[in-house]
Chains A and B, each alone.
Chain A
Amino acid sequence: MKRALITACIPVLLAACASAPAPVQRPATVRTMKSLDQQPTVVLREVAASDRQLALRSYLVYIDIAEGKARRMFAMRRVADLRLLIAEEALASGAGGYREGFHAAVEDYRRLLREYPAYPAADEVHYQIARAYDSVNEDMKSLEALTVLTQGFPQSPRYLEAQFRRGEILFKNRDYAGAERAYSEVAAAGQDAGFYEQALYKRGWARYLQGQTQTALADFMVVLERSLISGTELRTRLSPEALPRAQRELVDDTLRVISLSFAREGGPVAASAYFARAGATPLEPLIYSSLAEYYLKRNLYAGAVESLRAFIERNPLHEQAPVFQMRIAEIWEQAGEPQRAVAAREEFTRVYGKDSAYWKQRDIARMPLVSQRLREELMTMAQRAHAAAQASHNERDYVEAARSYRDYLAFFPDDDRAPELAFLLGELLFEQGRYGEAIEYYEQSAYRYSPHARAAEAGYAALLSYQRYLDQLGTAPSTEAERQAVRARSIEASTRFVSQFPRHPQVATVLTRTAEQLLAAGQYSRALTLAQRITNGMVQAGPELRRAAFIVIADVYFERKEYAQAEAAYTEALAMPAAGAPARTGESINERLAASIYHQGEQARAAGDKVVAREQFLRAAAVLPGSAIAQTAHYDAIAITLAQGETAAAITMMENFRHNYPQSRWHSAITGELALAYLAAGDLMHAAEEFGRVSAEHAKDDPAQAREALWRSAELYQQAGDKARAALAWQRYIVAFPEPVDRAIEARLRIAEAFQSSGNADAQQRWLGEIVAAFDKAGAAGGDFGRQAAAQAALELAKPLGEKYQSMRLVIPLDRSLREKRQAMDAALEAYGRAAGYGVAQITTAATFQIGEIYHGFGRALLDSERPADLNAEELEEYNVLLEEQASPFEEQAIEVHEVNFHRIAQGIYDDWVRASLDQLAELMPVRYGKREKKVEIIETLQ
């Protein structure tokens, strides 16, 4: 290739001419050097043929004649170098004579050093000499030159290489200790000084061959780290394939010898011990796998597996750990141990499952290898375990299969098989009775993916699962919250199912059930909408479903208080045949129907339309006679009738009601209303009778009302003139309500009065005694009324005794008469004294007066006594005087008693009896009491 580049440097002549002044005839113009400016130059830029021999000869000539030391040294050096080069070329090309060439070069170098002992690059020369000897395989001479270099030129840039080459020669000649020292020199210079890795690698070998495995390992590790680690990461992941070839070979060799070393020291245990001591390194995966391959090559499967396990044990969360685990499975397969392989695979899927710590901070998408293996293994595991579970119903198989499916879905949610797997997982869980979880996966299969063959099936299965799940939850209150939640979800699922899979054969059923559930959940609008899809024929359904749908519609209207529509729908439902034992029997629907009508009545009533209301109530009552709603409706109709003032009609309705519903809770209310109605109708006897019932019915629950009703019943009897029934009622009252005492005493009083009016004195006397006895027994509890009544009764009781005493004359035989009178006197005094004892002013003054009169009467009775017939006048006189003497104390006594009454005036008590006592006093003591008006004044004045 002769490529000539011609550069012609031609000055611009024209320009020069143009700028030059017009040539003037100038005699003998002298030409100067300046004229050269216009001369062109031609330079041919061409390569020349290389000619080492000519160069060598030229240098040699120069050496012979040159005077300059520096250039001569240079030339000598070049001569030697060229000779070496030429020899090397000869060696390479296979031409002969190279041996002589190398030796000549050595001689040239030696001459250079001889002539210029201070040659500045003497180290280079020694290096070249070593190189020349090396080329002719004269190791020892090469070593010698290198040793001269290393000993004489420790600062030489060739020093490390020389040491390294020394190491190589020594190593080759099995002087491992010497080689180790030489390599150590290189290593000591540090990692940036060159030959570092090679020196470490070879030193590792030298040490290894001397049996110093541990120190050898340290060297090998550094070599690997330098080749493979960037920062803290392995530069090439597990595989050193990304490295340049030379470095890859170094790495491979290093790994091999590390494996040899660990194998020699006891295998994976030794490796783990080493790392435990020397510290962890990112190289570990590489080293353990290399060790495993080492064993594998020798068919030592257990050793290989142990190696991989050792890594996993040390680095359970290492990114490569799952790869190692899979490798274990592969090795077992290779070893013909399928069971162990399967176990290893299972362990793989178990340990590196979705929830494992391994995946906590990792993204499977970034790990295609592990991802692929997991995909395969999980699928295999799932299928195997599922089949096993279906055959054995063994819990462990179920768990395993479920875990595998679950992990698969979690890892590969977008996998093509995901919809099918989700369905299968649902099936699996369903089989296990784990309905809650089954739902999750059925629904995932049904709705999460694009439409697929089993989507509808999955969707329906999910609905079945909800049902089972609810059944499973039972009725315990503790699960109520959950049940509610499940129900809600179930409804949503059903709705979704219906809209998603409208052609599914179970759509009508689901629709109906869903409507029912929505209804139950209080979602009336939705329930109504769904149910109407059945009733309006949008979805084909049999009569049972239609009946159920009408019920839902009716219930919704009912709940919405749209009772007329509810009544219509219930009526429709009743028209549909019910098969088997429906949840809603005809009776229960009728109840709702009645209620619907009843509520219409209520609404009319609220609107003030009492006529319509009563009509609706009566219609409701007729739907299901005897039912609770009928009773209520009847009752409400009565109430309206009563309110309308239609007493007679009301009485009839109430009597009917009481007849029809003897046990009704409104029974007593009806009785009360009836009593009032009779009263209003003027039928006192019936009224009294009903009040008596009222009292009896409320005896326990409302004693006060019972008491008043009985009292009223008694009074009504009395008003009706039926004194016997009245007395009977009072007596019942006394027995039933002894307290309050005053009220019971009054009842006794009413009885006494009744007997008095009927002329039955004895009975009257007896009831007066009852009054006194009741009060005495009760004491202060008898109250003022009781005291008054008791005092009055006591006074009444004393009255016949007084009258009998006053009526008795003293006759002969006087002593007997006297004695009898005296006894009667005592009885009367005692009776009046008792009446006075109640402290009732009016009664006391009456009793005091009567007592005074009893004393007064006895004196009079003495004076009026029958005189003995056998007395003479004198004797009679004398007898009379004696009588007067005898009668006087009684008068005195009478005065004293009346004066008690008299003194009551000062207490503000002045009644007829006080006045009567004053009259008696005026009679008995005219002087003293004849001017009583004045005296009173005096007394008042005195006071």
Chain B
Amino acid sequence: MSELNAGPVRVFAAGMTGTVYSISTPMMTNRLLPIAMLFVLLLGMRAGEAADYRALDAEVRAVQRVFAAAGGAVSSQTAVLLSVDPAHINDAEEVLARAASSGSLLPDSRDAELLWLAKRWMARAYLNEAATLLARVRGNGDVGSEKILLQAEILARQGRHADAAALLQSAQAQMPQPWASYAAYNLAAASLSAGRTQAALETLDALGRGTGGDDEVLALRDRANITLGFQRLGAGDGAAAKAAFDRVRFDGPFSAEALFGLGWSEFSQNNLSRALIPWAELNQRGALEPAVREVLLLAPYARWQLGAYREAVEQYRTAITRFDAELALLDRTRAGLGGDALLDTLSITAQGDGAPRPPAGYDSFYLRALMSAEPFRAGLDTLRHLREIEREAVSLPGGSAIATRANAAAAGYRELLRAYADADLGAERERSVSYRARAHFELARLLDEVSARENQQEGAK
């Protein structure tokens, strides 16, 4: 992530610079598609619902208040944690004012704090309240750009896609980079949701054809190309889709999606052997991400269709093996998350910028994705703070009671996180099981066909 806000509170905006919301892709109707799981790629991770945290938030705030009252050092972030409920907006402002007066908060970062708070509320689904908060942001430039992006997101989440599109459209020109790119991408998303597909595709195409820019812009461009590619695939235009996928960087963060899409572009044009090239590249990458899972089924299917029966059988069997291994990893991860240690480790690992790194033996695409998901990550942050309070409270007078209370709250959060993780990884496991079953099914069908061909040849003799 770029150094958006240099300064003491830059932590507020960590990882949250550009918000990209989901674009639902039309279901693939191509009959060659073995499993219509493409949506997984694009919907992103959904770890729990914002509303689930609300019940615990009060206790966390109480713990923080008690801790603070006992003289505990309350970080601004912690303070903001208290404000996750709009009903306690005054508490938040009070904390912020105090922080400002103590010099720990830069005077011109008020808008940034408002934005940060608005995002928190949005994460808790307080959309109207967040909108009110955003209205109080007065700055221009980066702040103003982010404000408009968030306002547009709220409109979109309220189903007012056309309004969102209009807002982005009008503001886009004045935005500096990378905000303009985000605006463009989100404009495309809003247009798609509003049913203005052609405009959306043009926007994505323009975005995808851009040059230069920093990593964030490049990533957005890749993403635009990915979205454009799948849109074109959905419209049945494999050649055009390929052109979009071709523009994606080979080593970028969306290369897996691009390889997958590229294979599909060829596959949809019946260039089965050409489809195998990107899919083979994807297969070589270790991580078993959704695109790879798909390809584990698609590649043997393509070989089957090409008459490479032996290879197809082999690849199905390999797929089954990999799905088995994936299931074992998922089961181990879920088992690990059943204890406190792993969650606590994760809460620390999740801290800071950059991709989260799960501990060895548990590293998987899914766990990383889970840790990157906003609600889960937020939960981990809270857990970490509660653990800090618990640790620091010991040295405070009456601290043991506070520690005990923090410990209890942490336990509650752990349960909540565990439930989220379980739901998420459980769903993943189900998908994986389904993929594995599907591999068995396809292998069986393939063998049926092999038998049938054998019979046919014998019959011909």
Contact = CB atoms under 8 A, between A and B. Distances in A.
Given A36-B278, A43-B311, A61-B437, A78 B251 contact: no
Given A48-B310, A55-B448, A34 B247 contact: yes
Interface string B222-255: 0000000000000000000000011111110001
A58 interface: yes
A191 interface: no
A43 B276 contact: yes
A55 B249 contact: no
Pick the most buried of B218, B307, B440: most chain A CB atoms within 10 A of its CB. B440
Given A9-B273, A39-B277, A62 B444 contact: yes
Given A9-B273, A45-B306, A46-B309, A34 B246 contact: yes
Contacts of B309: 46-48
A32 B262 CA distance: 12
B308 A44 contact: yes
A44 B310 contact: yes
B284 to A, nearest CB: 12
B443 interface: yes
Interface string A45-82: 11111111011101101100111000100010010001
Interface string A17-46: 000000000000011111111011101111
Contact of A52 (B246, B303, B308, B447): B447
A524 B434 CA distance: 122
A7 interface: yes
A66 B437 contact: yes
Contacts of A82: 448
Contact of B440 (A41, A50, A59): A59
A43 B447 contact: no
Of the listed residues B218, B277, B436, the one surrounded by the most CB atoms of chain A closer than 10 A to its CB is B277
B246 A32 contact: yes
B312 interface: yes
Contacts, number: 122
Contacts of B262: 33, 36
Contact of A65 (B281, B437, B443): B437
Nearest to B309: A48
A45 B312 CA distance: 10
A45 B278 contact: no
A45 B308 contact: yes
Contacts of A40: 277
B248 A33 contact: yes
Contact of A32 (B247, B307, B441): B247
B250 A41 contact: no
Given A34-B246, A67-B434, A46 B310 contact: yes
Interface stretch (B72-80, B120-128, B450-458): B450-458
Contacts of A66: 434, 437-438, 441
Contacts of A47: 309-310, 450, 453
Contacts of A9: 273-274
B84 interface: no
B210 to A, nearest CB: 13
B258 interface: yes
- Max chain A Cβ within 10 angstroms of own Cβ: one of B307, B310, B444: B444
B250 A31 contact: yes
A112 to B, nearest CB: 16
Contacts of B287: none
A344 to B, nearest CB: 53
A368 B332 CA distance: 91
Contacts of A59: 440-441, 444
B310 A41 contact: no
Contacts of B278: 33, 36
Given A43-B276, A59-B440, A33 B306 contact: no
Contacts of B411: none
B259 interface: yes
Interface string A543-574: 00000000000000000000000000000000
B454 A33 contact: no
A146 B307 CA distance: 39
Contacts of B313: 48
A47 B303 CA distance: 11
Given A31-B251, A43-B303, A71 B311 contact: no
Given A31-B250, A41-B276, A65-B433, A36 B281 contact: yes
Interface string A740-754: 000000000000000
B312 A58 contact: no
A32 B250 contact: yes
Interface string A273-301: 00000000000000000000000000000
B441 A33 contact: no
Nearest to A71: B441
Interface in A647-683: none
A41 B312 CA distance: 15
Nearest to B443: A58
A52 B451 contact: yes
A33 B246 contact: yes
A44 B444 contact: no
B120 to A, nearest CB: 36
B317 to A, nearest CB: 9
A75 B311 contact: no
B259 A41 contact: no
B428 to A, nearest CB: 15
Interface string B302-330: 01001111111100000000000000000
A41 B303 contact: no
Interface string B279-311: 011000000000000000000000100111111
Given A39-B277, A66-B437, A67-B434, 5 more contacts: A9-B274, A32-B246, A32-B248, A40-B277, A78-B444
Nearest 9 Cβ contacts at the A-B interface: A55-B447, A58-B444, A48-B309, A34-B246, A62-B441, A31-B250, A65-B437, A46-B310, A50-B451
Interface of B: 218, 245-251, 255, 258-259, 262, 273-274, 276-278, 280-281, 303, 306-313, 430, 433-434, 436-438, 440-441, 443-448, 450-451, 453-454
20 contacts: A33-B249, A36-B281, A41-B274, A41-B277, A43-B273, A44-B308, A45-B307, A48-B309, A50-B447, A50-B450, A50-B454, A51-B450, A58-B441, A61-B437, A61-B440, A62-B437, A65-B434, A65-B437, A66-B441, A75-B441
